[in-house]
Amino acid sequence: MLSDAARAFLDDKAPVAQLRALRDAGRSHDAGLWAEMAGMGWAGILIAEDQGGVGMGHAAAGVLAHEMGKTLVASPFLSTAVIAATALGQVADARARSALGQIAAGDLTYAIALQEGRKFAADSAGVTATPDGNGFRLTGAKGFVVDGGAADRLLVLAQSDQGPTLFDLPCDRDGLSITGRAQIDARDAADLRFDAVPVSGDEVLGDAGQGLAILAPALRAGQAALAAEQLGLATGAMEMTVGYLKDRQQFGRPIGSFQALQHRAARLWCEIEVTSSAILNAGRALDETPDMAEVAVSLAKARATATATLAVQEGVQMHGGIGVTDDYDMGFYMKRARVSAEWLGDYGYHAQVIARAGGF
Amino acid sequence: MTETTELAEFRQDIRDWLAENCPPDLRDGNLEDDNVCWGGRDWVFQSDSQRDWLHRCAERGYTVPTWPRAYGGAGMDRAREKIFREEMDRINARLPLQSFGIWMLGPAVLAFGTEDQKQDLLPPIARGEVRWCQGYSEPGAGSDLASVQTRGEDRGDHWVVNGQKIWTSYANKADRIFALVRTDSDAPKHKGISFLLIDMDQPGVTTRPIQLISGKSPFCETFFDDAIVPKAQIIGEVNRGWDVAKHLLTHERESISGGLTGMGGVPSLGRYLKEELGEISDPVLRADVMRAEVDAMAIRLTLERYADQAEDGQGAGDASAMLKYVATEFNKRRQELLMTAGGAAALDWDGDTGGRPGDWLRSKANSIEGGTSEIMLGIISRRILGLPG
């Protein structure tokens, strides 16, 4: 099974201690780990075999993300292998195909420059793309660009005369300044400034004005995979907590023998079970009926956000004092849960997608 | 997913059969207890079509589609049963028959009964000829069900039963009761209980209905004063009735959760409120409804996932406690939202017919009956999470 193989690899190469070591070393990215993942085909999980990938689909991508979430694995998997690969796959012209091959080989990473304000919006296009010769110049700012510090290239949504347009450009372009963020989850994220950044017409992904249509399926794929990661995070936090309830002795017995804590743990397990149904459903919907997957994906992201938040809060509470120490790993789960709650749309964003689709 | 040709043909067959055989006046989606046939010796059909519908379905095994044909069922696997239910739902057909025989005793007999018992007991349930009720709880044995004190005294070829059961739904209308009876008072409490089948139509059995906060209810108290039970009327071995009971409790939890949330049957709360009352303008209520919508969808998917696993031969087992817990707690939340949305208009007591306040009040029992939420969480923490008892 894919999940067993992934688990064995990650337990060996990327336990939570690995994230801690990165943080303590002031790093947010481990290129060697990503190269090994790519070697196992993970970077090409959504890329067709004839383009160098393994083409296993969104449910499989969810399985990998779920396992990564359990030990908070820091990698450009979501940005590169899921979101960028899906966006490039929408276009699949010669340049996009070449990029897909490089992604699958682990030779190219991407970050998505979309968000502009405090909150996610799928159509943030406040960066302007002004015509300049055969190309454009980009001006404005993007924030919360996940994996933006170490990525090779960017997908940037900007407003051109033709409407929202997606640009695919390298991170070392003149006029582009990238400032790494010291984000609570110790993962790679950056703020971007575009000062009349020159881009050629060839660097438009797809056609000008078609940015939202290309980006939408990519964001859905990313949201579903991120939800799977959040479910993994919740599961990891719960397993750590249940283990602690069995070990920790107070009043002369394991604290897990107290009904107050048993019921908290059981309730959390129920929430995780219910959320896992939504995750499986989203992966299936993306693979089988991608045009109708919007509600399934938003359901997964909303539920997973709520469940991950609950899992880390309950996790800290049931651990007691040790749960709020930095020596213990639970804090890493709490911080990543908060970041993943915001990224690609929070609970309220996705609940509103569901309400709109439901006609109320 | 596209259906295999075989299943597509099956669907067409069912659709054709229903078109021809389901009486048009029973295609109103009415699944209220009072409007569905419960069968039994004393059943008075509410209409000719109700009688015809039962007989036509029973003839094809459609009252108990998954039971083996030999015992009155249609031998459907889950894929076919799902299609059958979908086609029934498509034309809003009422169920031809519902009963505790179908939901509870039948599955127990299939799992624990002898071949003779299967042949004796199951076909009359499938045909709606015998109506059963369940005798589990007692005034002193609720959550601690295994402490039942109703006693069966061994008199050679029969037992003499004395004691009291409570929450026996429709005991006043049932022909027979399956009951947990203590047949060995000296054994540890789980090891002295037998699963007995008792005739209600005898001088030693009397019933009294219970009025609930929601009004009239099917619940009764049932009293046994020297009731006679022949020795053959037992499922499983003497003093091993707890095994049967546990199996049935798992089953009950699954059917309560399935019944409440429906396999896709519950309409969107948000859409329902908008259609009934217009735009939800109160932002606080609107947010609550949105959260409820998110949870309802995920719970429905969970019930479907476990039903699919059951088809693969993997029962929910202890996880049925989770299904019961989440579905009943959710239904209470849903009913609270309906009352809030209804405002003053939802406050009229309409006698004993239920209505919105009746449904709201009745939902309060959901997380109590069939094992309380706290008992469910206890099962999960001990048996699934492995926390110390």
CA dist list (Å): B111 to A16, B130, B221, B233, B340:
47, 20, 28, 16, 44
Instruction: Tell me the pLDDT band of A147, cut-offs 50, 70 and 90.
Output: very high
Query: What pLDDT, on the 0 to 100 scale, is given for residue B355?
Result: 79
B-chain residue closest to A275, CA distance: B298
A226/A238 Cα distance (integer angstroms): 18
Handedness of CA B298, B303, B305, B306 (dihedral sign): positive
A-chain residue closest to B308, CA distance: A277
- Which of B188, B45, B250, B18 has the alpha carbon at shortest distance from B128? B45
Query: What pLDDT, on the 0 to 100 scale, is given for residue B262?
Result: 45
B196/B181 Cα distance (integer angstroms): 7
**Catalytic-role residue among B87, B138, B221, B252:** B252
Contact B293 A358 (CB under 8 A): yes
- For chain B, domain boundaries: 5-109, 132-239, 243-384
Handedness of CA B377, B378, B381, B383 (dihedral sign): negative
Q: Which of B270, B326, B377 sits opposite A274 (nearest CB)?
A: B326
Contact B322 A352 (CB under 8 A): no
Contact A269 B293 (CB under 8 A): no
Q: Is the CB of residue A215 less than 8 Å from the CB of residue A221? A: no
CB neighbour list of residue A279: distance below 8 Å, 6 or more residues apart = A62, A66, A224, A227, A228, A231, A300, A303, A304
**The CATH number of domain B5-109, selected from 1.10.540.10, 1.10.10.10, 2.30.130.10, 1.10.357.10:** 1.10.540.10
- What are the mean pLDDT values of chain B's consecutive 10-residue runs (389 residues total)? 83 96 90 86 94 97 96 93 91 94 94 97 98 96 95 97 96 97 96 98 97 91 98 97 90 68 61 89 95 95 86 78 94 95 89 78 93 96 96
- Virtual CA dihedral for B306, B307, B309, B315, nearest 10 degrees? 80
Residues of A in contact with B277 (CB under 8 A): none
Handedness of CA A233, A234, A237, A242 (dihedral sign): negative
Q: Is the CB of residue B240 less than 8 Å from the CB of residue B122? A: no
Closest-CA distance of chain B to residue A132, Å: 46
Contact B293 A265 (CB under 8 A): no
Q: Which of A259, A270, A303 sits opposite B294 (nearest CB)?
A: A303
Query: What pLDDT, on the 0 to 100 scale, is given for residue B264?
Result: 43
Residues of A in contact with B376 (CB under 8 A): 266
Q: Please identify among residues 159-218 of chain A the ones whose CB lies closer than 8 Å to any CB of chain B.
A: none
Closest-CA distance of chain A to residue B330, Å: 12
Measured between CB atoms, does A356 come within 8 Å of chain B? no
CA dist list (Å): B193 to B140, B141, B183, B229, B371:
15, 13, 6, 15, 19
Q: HEC string of A63-128?
A: HHHHHHHHCCCCCCHHHHHHHHHHHHHHHCCHHHHHHHHHHHHCCCCEEEECCCCCCCCCCCCCCE
- Looking at residue B383, the DSSP 8-state letter turns out to be I
Q: What are the strands, taking DSSP E only, across chain A?
A: 110-113, 128-132, 135-146, 153-160, 163-170, 176-180, 189-199, 249-250, 253-254
Q: What is the mean pLDDT of chain A?
A: 97
Contact A266 B293 (CB under 8 A): no
Closest-CA distance of chain B to residue A95, Å: 34
Closest-CA distance of chain A to residue B62, Å: 30
State the fold for domain B243-384. Butyryl-CoA Dehydrogenase, subunit A; domain 3 (1.20.140)
Report H helices in B151-224: none
B-chain residue closest to A241, CA distance: B385
pLDDT tens digits for A224-242? 999 999 999 999 999 999 9
B-chain residue closest to A242, CA distance: B385
How many beta-carbon contacts under 8 Å exist across A and B? 107
Instruction: Tell me the pLDDT band of A72, cut-offs 50, 70 and 90.
Output: very high
Residues of B in contact with A305 (CB under 8 A): none
B309/B302 Cα distance (integer angstroms): 11
Q: Is B252 a catalytic residue?
A: yes
Which pTM value belongs to this model?
0.91
Closest-CA distance of chain A to residue B360, Å: 23
State the fold for domain B132-239. Butyryl-CoA Dehydrogenase, subunit A; domain 2 (2.40.110)
Contact A299 B305 (CB under 8 A): no
In this structure, the strands spanning B132-135 and B205-209 are: unpaired
pLDDT tens digits for A82-103? 999 999 999 989 999 999 999 9
Letter string b/e over residues A243-271, b meaning 16 or more CB atoms within 10 A of that residue's CB:
ebbbebeeeeebbbbbeebbbbbbbbbbb
CATH 3.10.50.40 describes domain A2-109: no
Residues of A in contact with B291 (CB under 8 A): 351
Contact A266 B378 (CB under 8 A): yes
B295/A275 Cα distance (integer angstroms): 9
CB neighbour list of residue B77: distance below 8 Å, 6 or more residues apart = B66, B311
Residues of chain A with CATH 1.10.540.10: 2-109
Contact B305 A277 (CB under 8 A): yes
pLDDT tens digits for A165-203? 999 999 999 999 999 999 999 999 999 999 999 999 999
B257/B249 Cα distance (integer angstroms): 12
Measured between CB atoms, does A257 come within 8 Å of chain B? yes
Helix (H) / strand (E) containing B116: helix B115-126
Q: Domain A213-358: give its CATH code.
A: 1.20.140.10
pLDDT tens digits for A300-344? 999 999 999 999 999 999 999 999 999 999 999 999 999 999 999
State the fold for domain A112-211. Butyryl-CoA Dehydrogenase, subunit A; domain 2 (2.40.110)
Contact A266 B294 (CB under 8 A): no
Residues of chain A with CATH 2.40.110.10: 112-211
Which string of DSSP letters, residue by residue, matches A5-31? HHHHHHHHH--HHHHHHHHHTT----H
Measured between CB atoms, does A242 come within 8 Å of chain B? yes
Query: What pLDDT, on the 0 to 100 scale, is given for residue B215?
Result: 87
Q: What is the ipTM metric for this complex?
A: 0.96
